[in-house]
Structure 1
Amino acid sequence: MIGIAVLVAPSFLLIAVGYAARRLLPAAEFWNTLDKLVYWLLIPALFLAKISSADLGSSPLGAFAAILYAGFFGALAFGWVAQRLIGLAPAQGSDVVQGAGRFNTFLGLAIAGALYGPAGLQAGVLGSALLVPVVNVSVVTVLAAMLGQRGSGSRFFRTLGELARNPFILSILAGLAFNLAGLKQVPVLHDTADMLGQAALPIMLLAVGANLQLRGIGGAWGPVALAAFGKLVVFPLLVLAAIALIEPPQLVAQVAIIYAALPVAASAYALARQMGGDAELMAAMISVQTALAFVTLPATLALAGWLY
């Protein structure tokens, strides 16, 4: 576990540097521009480059998808049942659902690359391609059903329309199109995408840290704890059980466990605000889970190594 913690520590240290830098350099325009750079250019370039060149025929995508979806949908169901049992208001309950099921793709890619090199990063990108569209559509649908106040229908369709223009989803589809067309390395285009992709990981971790904030917890430790339990305990246990049943190749299992143990995505804050959830509580969940994950993620990976 200590060895794993040392390997993942640089990723968390970059998040901490981003958090400190936002407080030392509080110019909102700079950090907003950095977020847009990551969202609209760097991560889409990484997805395009890696998915285009992936050997999809030799990748056990069916097993990979089954393992990841077992964890995601199980954790999503846990969040929904848990918030119902304790009688949360829809705004806070929807945060628990998001907090239990969504995950930080950025951090997953960085850790997969740090632990397992280029092959790990490639597998992480394929995992993202399997998860990102499904997770986004599923979460938006559940939140629209939970937050069923006036105007929720229009918000639902507006959000789905934005998902259809999501640069992550579009770059995943473009990468698949290039791959299936046999255009795995188009001169200049893919060279440029590769260069941009290399810049993506450190910059996006700085952006994650810059967006962390702890206000909003107040007396709401119950929802925060439920979401953390769903994401950092239930999700990993379900993935470990699926791995035991499916017995995938080792790298697939390792990357699936990384995704299972990730904290909730920073983008959950924007979705909570857009769909009518409790955005401040969601921000607190993101910050608490990111801090906890520095301990729980290496522990989960060590447990998986011991079991399998």
Structure 2
Amino acid sequence: MLEIVLTIAPIFLLIVLGNILRRIGIPSVDFWNINDKLVYWVLFPVLLFKTTSSLTLSGAVIGNYAIVILGGFFAAVLYSLIAIKVFRISAPSGTSVLQGAARHNTFIALAVAERLFGADGLALAAMVTAVLIPVTNIVVVTSMVGMLPKTPGRSLPAAILRDLTRNPLLVSIVIGMSLNLLGVGEIPVLHQTAGILGAAALPIMLLCIGANLHFSEMRAGLLSTYLSMAGKFIVFPAVVFGLVLMVGLEGNMAMIPLIFACVPTAASSFTLARQMGGDAPLAASIVTVQTLVSFVSLPIAITLLGHVFGLTF
């Protein structure tokens, strides 16, 4: 386990560094707010475009990954909706529970996959991302629009379509996968530029994750926070693990979707909650607590799963 901890420790150190820099005002609090937008609207979409447009697609692998990762995702969604109903959680808080249980931090997953398995791991992780992000965004945004109070004069389909078509992550994957399926290949200058930006994306994104952790809001909605953690760290991984065994994935191929299942929820959950009228303080609390817990839970999970699939890191 020590080897795994040492391997992925730089990822968490960058997160800690990002939080420290924001707290001491380097370079400024406004910088981190702007940088968060840079990550969401430029760096991460460019990284997704670069990886999805140039990865080698395998129908069998994509099919197995879709079964495995989407099975875990929909199980977490179903769990959260049942928990919201059983515990009578309000609609705004319920949307934060849903995000906490079903979404994933792609930044951490990609970084861990690359640290453990190199370029091949990153390519496989990009394949999972291409499968999971569109479905996650469509289901989560649709569910949130349906759960939250409606804006007078605006239809539900229009609201869902607006939020999906302006999502830069979804747009970048659609463009990248379209170029890939058309066999366009790498476009001179465009892909070189995307490669430079993509190389900077992961470290900057990890710093931004740390900068956006808000420890003062960790006590918001303890029950809702615990429910989201049960969905994210128990239901999601358990279902993915069972499906991995069912479809017969082995080695690195099995570990990549399990990494996605074990990472904390998306840091952008807070932003989405704030933009759509959900419980933003609760979302911030869920993101912060899950990220802190993952400092311990992720190395343990990777160690145990590595033993199951006979991997040495």
CA-to-aligned-CA distance 1:220-265 (integer Å, 9 cap, x gap): 2111111111101111111100011011253231110110001010
| 1:89 shift after superposition | 1.6
Q: Answer with 119-128 or 176-185: which moved more.
A: 176-185
Corresponding residue number in structure 2 for 1:295: 296
Cα distance per residue 1:281-306 (max 9 Å; x no partner): 11000000000011111222222223
Partner of 1:272: 273
* Alpha-carbon separation, structure 2, partners of 1:90 and 1:156: 19
Q: How far did 1:160 drift?
A: 3.3
Q: Which residue of 2 aligns with 1:41?
A: 42
Q: How many angstroms apart in 2 are the aligned matches of 1:193 and 1:217?
A: 37
Which deviates more from structure 2 when the two are superposed, residues 298-307 or residues 154-163?
154-163
Provide the rounded CA distance (Å) in 2 between the counterparts of 1:61 and 1:95. 29
The size of the alignment, in residue pairs, is 308
> Is 1:86 the equivalent of 2:76?
no
User: 2:215 corresponds to which residue?
Assistant: 214
3-state SS of paired residue (1:56): coil
Q: Report the 3-state secondary structure (helix = DSSP H, G, I; strand = E; otherwise coil) of the residue aligned with 2:249.
A: coil
Contact in 2 for aligned 1:70/1:238 (Cα 8 Å): yes
Q: What is the alpha-carbon distance in structure 2 between the residues aligned to residue 238 and residue 211 of structure 1? A: 30
Deviations 1:95-151 (A, max 9, x none): 111110011111111111111100111111111111111001101122222224554
**Cα distance between partner residues in 2 of 1:143 and 1:70:** 20
Q: Tell me whether 1:21 sits opposite 2:53 in the alignment.
A: no
Matched-pair contact (CA < 8 Å) for 1:144–1:152 = no
Matched, 1:52 2:53: yes
Could you tell me which residue of structure 2 aligns to residue 9 of structure 1? 9
The offset of 1:154, in angstroms, is 5.2
Q: Distance in 2 between matches of 1:152 and 1:230?
A: 35
Q: CA deviation at 1:152?
A: 9.8
TM-score (norm 2): 0.92
- Helix, strand or coil at the partner of 2:216: coil
Contact 2:95 2:144 in 1 (8 A): yes
TM-score for both structures, normalised by structure 1: 0.94
- Indicate conservation of the 8 Å contact 1:215/1:283, yes or no: no
Unaligned runs of 5+ in 2: none
Identify the range of structure 1 (96-105 vs 215-224) with the bigger mean alpha-carbon deviation: 215-224
Matched with 2:108 is 107
Task: Work out whether residues 71 and 240 of structure 2, in 8 Å CA contact, stay in contact via their aligned partners in 1.
Answer: yes
The residue type paired with residue 25 of structure 1 is G
Counterpart of 2:188 in 1: which secondary structure?
Answer: coil
Q: Which has the larger displacement, 255-264 or 34-43? A: 34-43
Percent identical residues? 41
What 5-or-longer segments of structure 1 have no aligned partner? none
Pair 295,187 (structure 1): closer, same or farther in 2 beyond 3 Å: same
What residue is the counterpart of 2:162 in the other structure? 161
Instruction: Give the Cα separation in 1 of the matches to 2:167 and 2:107.
Output: 15
1:219, CA displacement in angstroms?
Answer: 6.0
CA–CA distance in structure 1, aligned partners of residues 209 and 305 of structure 2: 27
| CA distance 1:50–1:302, change in 2 (3 Å) | same
- 1:183 aligned partner: 184
* Cα pair distance change 1:151/1:183, threshold 3 Å: same
Letter matched to residue 8 of structure 1: I
Structure 1 CA distance for aligned equivalents of residues 270 and 66 of structure 2: 26
1: distance between equivalents of 2:81 and 2:124?
Answer: 30
**Greater displacement, 131-140 / 156-165:** 156-165
